[in-house]
Amino acid sequence: MTMQEVIKGKAYVLGDNIDTDQIIPAKHLVYSLSDPEERKLYGTYALSGVPEKVAGLPKGNIPFVPEGDHRSRYQVIIGGKNFGSGSSREHAPEALQIAGITAVVAESYARIFYRNAVDGGFFIPCESTQRLIADIKTGDDLEINISAGTLKNVTSGKSYGLRPLGDVLDIVTAGGIFAYARKTGMLKP
Amino acid sequence: MGMTMTEKILARHAGRPRASAGDNIWVNVDILMTHDVCGPGTIGIFRKQFGPNAKVWDRQKVVIIPDHYIFTNDLHAHRNIDLLRDFVKEQDLPYYYDVGTDKYKGVCHIALPEEGHTRPGEVLFGTDSHTCTAGAFGEFATGIGNTDAAFILGTGKLWVKVPETMRFEFEGPLPPYLMAKDLILHIIGDIGVDGATYRAMEFSGDGVMSLSIEERMTLCNMVIEAGGKNGVIPSDAVTERFVKSKTSKPFEAVADDPDAHFHSVRRYKTSDIQPTVAKPHSPDNRGTARECAGIRLDRAYIGSCTGGKLNDFVAAAKILKGQQVKAETYIVPATTEVARGLATTMLDGQSLTEIFQKAGAKLSQGASCAACLGGPSDTFGRLNKSEVCISTTNRNFPGRMGSKTAQVYLASPYTVAASAVTGVITDPRDFL
């Protein structure tokens, strides 16, 4: 995936400390990531470990992926602090990508998850300059402008700031560590 | 200005005279470790990116340790072991610890030092977040994902952002009722589950340097639960004696410069620390065993890279000897070497295995990660209902050990064993 400048999609809102066991529970880590059919199961079970009452805030009890499907109706996740904590399983950001997520906007990230999202080129991990999870509702229409560093809630009309991607911008722009290494001549094209 | 140990190790591996916190640098990797959960994905990316005939950068530096989903009937899990086996054969890798053979080890973070793959001053990456355990040997060790691991497999290099170091000093040897687990749970309670994000956590002081190598591993093991990039303990005679007993490979230890810059320094007196627990559902939800006394338990679990080493079982056996457990108690040795130790280590004329059996505990038939991370539904010790469990493991997130409705308390082997005997959370000082 190379970087899209403007990302539009519906919000799925989660709380603080969403760990990788909630993003993809360990019993599902056995499916093949290279088989095009089998890998869809990661989309089916993405976020299935989130306790129901906090799945899709503020109301909760909103399944991220409809039963029997592997694609979510939501394209952007809004999270709180320390998103993606816990395990180094790359299945976590990849499961979100398979479910159709193109960006996550969180207050802060656990570093391995963040790094995996960047180096694997699964989606753009944006950091918000303020807490968003009480302000944005699951189902709101969002518009993210990466170069302007803004997130607009089209439903409510409010706009928010995003932190610059900083050190990882070049890798995100290239679409992952392999693409970046080829672009910079470290690997043969 | 001088460098911290972490800065110095990373600078040396980048071929630079110095590296400072915040620098992005490419480092040469000494060891890459992977296992059955992340190995197949890593291999898939390696083949896709480097071609079907590509060879790994250095056969001697790749270590593959199946450990997660071993004793299960899950067919996908079995297929993943087959994928590892095929890759090892194709690449002719010497360090593979195959299931069903005499070489089988069990939990990778305990197997790595047992097999001599952890050495002071080196850089170790592994496709598991608890790879930070190896910082106990005075090296830089951290967890990575499949893509980064595949990149290393092909190139032997990876970019890292040099972390700042938070230093934690413990004064005074541990009182007889405390273990390293209490210290690290105490720290995580202080700084929170994201209190060390992007940073190194360095442990020192006479309280830390008086710990055995296994207890030092427990400290470094859980830095990831505070968001830490790596945990590290300066190497000393204890480290060198252990490492030299496992490998003849040369290594060069590093130490902090006297004028190194630290993000922060926290000092603790070990005698001020209480037997500590982390309450559901977060490792920073700290309480003392006394405060939680009386909470009813269905289960006690002793195992994993955090609390399944031989010293952890010796500690548990001290309390379980001559007792009967009231909560269902599961014993899972981390490695086959630990499992042999249970049979041969004696306490007042009885082996640890006998002590556990007489106490009514259930012993795993094999060494592995087992129920620490839930795993397939037939995993030994997995929480499949709304059980309340006290565990020597590292994480108590919702659903971590199986069911989303289960509740997990994390504690030291002493506290877990004392609680197993009474069936409620119990301060181990009641038994010691």
Residues of chain B with CATH 3.30.499.10: 5-251+262-267, 276-430
Identify the band that residue A1 occupies on the pLDDT scale cut at 50, 70 and 90. very low
* Per-residue pLDDT tens digits for B259-275: 999 999 999 999 999 99
Q: Which residues of A touch B131 (CB under 8 A)?
A: 88
Distance CA B405, CA A34 (A): 32
CATH fold, domain B276-430, is Aconitase; domain 3 (3.30.499)
Distance CA B309, CA B109 (A): 10
CATH code at B5-251+262-267: 3.30.499.10
* Among candidate residues B260, B246, B364, the one with its CA nearest the CA of residue B304: B364
Identify the band that residue B47 occupies on the pLDDT scale cut at 50, 70 and 90. very high
Q: Which residues of B touch A176 (CB under 8 A)?
A: 147
Mean pLDDT of B9-38: 98
* Per-residue pLDDT tens digits for B396-409: 999 999 999 999 99
Q: What is the pLDDT of residue A3?
A: 67
* Per-residue pLDDT tens digits for B63-107: 999 999 999 999 999 999 999 999 999 999 999 999 999 999 999
* Per-residue pLDDT tens digits for B163-196: 999 999 999 999 999 999 999 999 999 999 999 9
Coil/strand/helix, residue B409: strand
Q: Which CATH architecture has domain A6-183?
A: Alpha-Beta Barrel (3.20)
**Contacts for A185 with CB less than 8 Å, ≥ 6 apart:** none
Share of chain B above pLDDT 70, in %: 100
Which residue type does B194 have?
D
Identify the band that residue A2 occupies on the pLDDT scale cut at 50, 70 and 90. low
* Per-residue pLDDT tens digits for B243-261: 999 999 999 999 999 999 9
Compare CB distances from A116 to B145, B155, B404 and report the shortest one's residue.
B145
* Per-residue pLDDT tens digits for B104-144: 999 999 999 999 999 999 999 999 999 999 999 999 999 99
Alpha carbon distances (Å) from B181 to A128, B200, B302, B312: 35, 18, 13, 10
**Contacts for B380 with CB less than 8 Å, ≥ 6 apart:** B71, B330, B332, B364, B365, B370, B371
Q: What average pLDDT does the structure give for chain B?
A: 98
Residue B258 buriedness (CB in 10 A; 0-12 / 13-18 / 19+): exposed
* Per-residue pLDDT tens digits for A65-87: 999 999 999 999 999 999 999 99
Torsion, Cα B76 B79 B81 B84, to 10 degrees, reads -120
Look at residue B148 and tell me whether its pLDDT is greater than 50.
yes
Instruction: Chain A: give the shortest CA distance to residue B345, in Å.
Output: 33
Q: Which residues of A touch B128 (CB under 8 A)?
A: 87-88
Instruction: Chain B: give the shortest CA distance to residue A153, in Å.
Output: 28
